[in-house]
Amino acid sequence: MAARFKMSRKGVGQLLRSPMILGEMVRRAEVIKAVAESIAPAGGPSDPHAGNYKESFFVTSTDRGGRRRDRATATVGNSVYYARWVEYGTEKVPAHHVLLRAAQAGEL
């Protein structure tokens, strides 16, 4: 006799917002944050912002994330104003892609 399964959309929605899934998203975000902190450029001794970028990573989480606000999510970011320039580069400074590389290395 074959097993039968009937999906419940409400049940899947509850699973996607559950504390178990939120906890896993936060755990993965913390791994990515740790990798990003370890590979982030710190600047030289003459840099007035030395170490600020490296120390400004953060993790936020919610159980109402995603495009439809129907799932648990965790986000890694950086709060310094020049974080986008470190990530994507400028005409004079090459891109470091810190969060991109951290996310690729932090995949579990």
Read off the pLDDT of residues 27-75 as tens digits, 9 standing for 90 and up.
999 999 999 999 998 876 677 677 789 999 999 999 999 999 999 999 9
Residue matched to tokens 């986000």: 75
> What are the residues whose beta carbons fall under 8 Å from the beta carbon of 97, sequence distance 6 or more?
87, 88
The pLDDT of residue 97 is: 95
Model confidence over 91-103: pLDDT tens digits?
A: 998 999 999 999 9
How many other C-beta atoms are found inside a 10 Å radius of the C-beta of residue 25?
A: 20
Does residue 84 have a pLDDT over 80?
yes
For residue 35, the SS3 value is helix
Average pLDDT over residues 16-22: 94
